[in-house]
Structure formats: C-alpha cells, structure tokens
C-alpha cells in the first residue's frame, strides 16, 4: 500500500507549532526567532488568540520569576511569559500550546493584551492585513532595560523594549549617556 503523504502544515516554515486560532500562525520572524502572523485580514478590535497558560499564585510566580532571573544571569537571557491577572493570581504562558507566547514586541504594535476575567486575549488595535506579523507592547519597566534592545524597526522605536509609560524616562536616561 502506498504510504500516505504527510498533510502540508499551515506554515511551511514551522510545521510543529500549532496555533489555536484561525486568524494567525507561527512563522520565522525578521525581528527575532519565531513570531505570529495574520493568516487573513483581521478587523480592528477582533479578539485574535487567547494567551493560555497555567494560573499560579503570586508566591509561585515570584519563585518562577527569581528562577528565570538566575537563569538569565547564567545564560545571558531567559524569556518571561508571566502575566498579571489580578492581585492574587498570575498566568504563566510558558506552555507549548500557547502560540501567543511567541508574539514579538513592537514600539508601534498592532495588538494589545486584554484581561477578561481570568482570561487573557490578544486583540487587534487596528485593521491588520493578511501576512502582517502581530505585535503587542510588552510594557516592560526600565529595570535592566539594557538587556532588552528593541529591533522592531518602526519609526517610533525607542531602542529598548519598554512600556509607553516609561518612554519619557527612558529618553532622559539615554540623553544622559
Ligand atoms: C516571548 S518571546 C517572543 C518569541 C520569540 N521571538 C521566540 O522565538 O521565542 C520574547 C523574546 O523575544 C525577543 N523579542 C521580542 N520582541 C523583540 C523586539 N522587538 N526586538 C528584539 N527582540 C525581541 C526578546 O529576546 C524577548 O525576550
Ligand atoms: Zn522598537
């Protein structure tokens, strides 16, 4: 009997990475590693993909945060996937089924992360064309900002991955140098 052909994946580049949304898929990014790309035109305000993960207490979250910090000290880098849900709970998105964890940062993002009860959704903040990479602003504070250079390449790029609330302070720090 003839061997069945393996079905072609949605993305020829990364066949293993399943994206639990019809609106996007994982591909190689020009900015960093893998990224998530629109597979069709996405209307503004559309909830695109849920950011799933493990719901953890603040105590557990601190423990994991410090372990990541130690890892970063040793290896020079460690990606953080922990989102704040509320005063008591966080969500650790470092699980393979969470393709949304691969969304890169941009200083001119086309998406935002919304907390809806105990769920987190990545939603469009403008119309997005099929094939565009999805981005949200990670909202990092300025602690260790030098460890997070930004390569988003947009006109608004502030050079480092930082939340908009910190941009003025960052500008001042960069001017002092
Ligand atoms: C949550 S991961 C995003 C997925 C990542 N591209 C991958 O393949 O694993 C976050 C990491 O991606 C990189 N990254 C995301 N956005 C970036 C950007 N605009 N410029 C440079 N690096 C970025 C940084 O190393 C960051 O710590
Ligand atoms: Zn940038």
Asked if residue 58 belongs to a domain, the reply is no
Across the strands, what pairs with 56? Answer: 90
Asked if residue 60 belongs to a domain, the reply is no
Which residues have their alpha-adjacent CB atom under 5 A from ion ligand 2? 107, 150, 152, 157
Whole-number Å distance, alpha carbon 33 to ligand 1 midpoint, is: 7
Rounded Cα distance between 47 and 144, Å, is 32
Asked if residue 57 belongs to a domain, the reply is no
Asked if residue 36 belongs to a domain, the reply is no
Rounded Cα distance between 59 and 69, Å, is 15
Residue 5: Cβ within 10 Å count: 6
Residue span of the structural domain in which 162 resides:
142-177
Pocket of ligand 1 (CB under 6 A): 29, 31-35, 79, 81, 101-102, 104-106, 150-152, 161
Asked if residue 147 belongs to a domain, the reply is yes
Overall number of domains in the chain: 1
Whole-number Å distance, alpha carbon 6 to ligand 1 midpoint, is: 31
| pTM higher than 0.75 | yes
Task: pLDDT tens for the chain, 177 residues: list them.
Answer: 444 444 444 444 444 467 889 999 999 999 999 999 999 999 999 999 999 999 999 999 999 988 887 877 777 666 778 888 999 999 999 998 899 999 999 999 999 999 988 899 999 999 999 999 999 999 999 988 998 999 999 999 999 999 999 999 999 999 998
In tens, the pLDDT along 11-47 reads 444 444 678 899 999 999 999 999 999 999 999 999 9
- Do 39 and 20 meet the contact criterion of CB atoms below 8 Å apart? no
Asked if residue 134 belongs to a domain, the reply is no
Across the strands, what pairs with 36? Answer: 26
Asked if residue 153 belongs to a domain, the reply is yes
Asked if residue 152 belongs to a domain, the reply is yes
Token couple for 34 = 């893998």
């Amino acid at each position: 009997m003839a061997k069945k052909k393996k079905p072609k994946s949605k993305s020829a580049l990364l066949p293993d990475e399943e994206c639990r949304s019809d609106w996007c898929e994982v591909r190689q990014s020009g900015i960093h590693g893998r990224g998530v790309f629109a597979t069709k035109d996405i209307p503004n305000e559309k909830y695109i993909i849920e950011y799933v993960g493990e719901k953890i207490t603040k105590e557990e979250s601190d423990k994991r945060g410090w372990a990541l910090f130690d890892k970063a000290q040793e290896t020079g880098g460690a990606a953080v996937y922990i989102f704040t849900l509320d005063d008591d709970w966080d969500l650790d998105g470092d699980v393979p089924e969470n393709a949304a964890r691969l969304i890169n940062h941009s200083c001119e993002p086309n998406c935002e992360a919304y907390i809806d009860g105990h769920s987190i959704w990545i939603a469009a903040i403008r119309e997005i064309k099929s094939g565009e990479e999805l981005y949200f602003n990670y909202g990092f504070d300025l602690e260790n900002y030098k460890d997070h250079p930004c390569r988003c390449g947009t006109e608004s790029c502030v050079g480092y991955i930082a939340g908009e609330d910190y941009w003025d302070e960052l500008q001042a720090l960069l001017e002092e140098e």
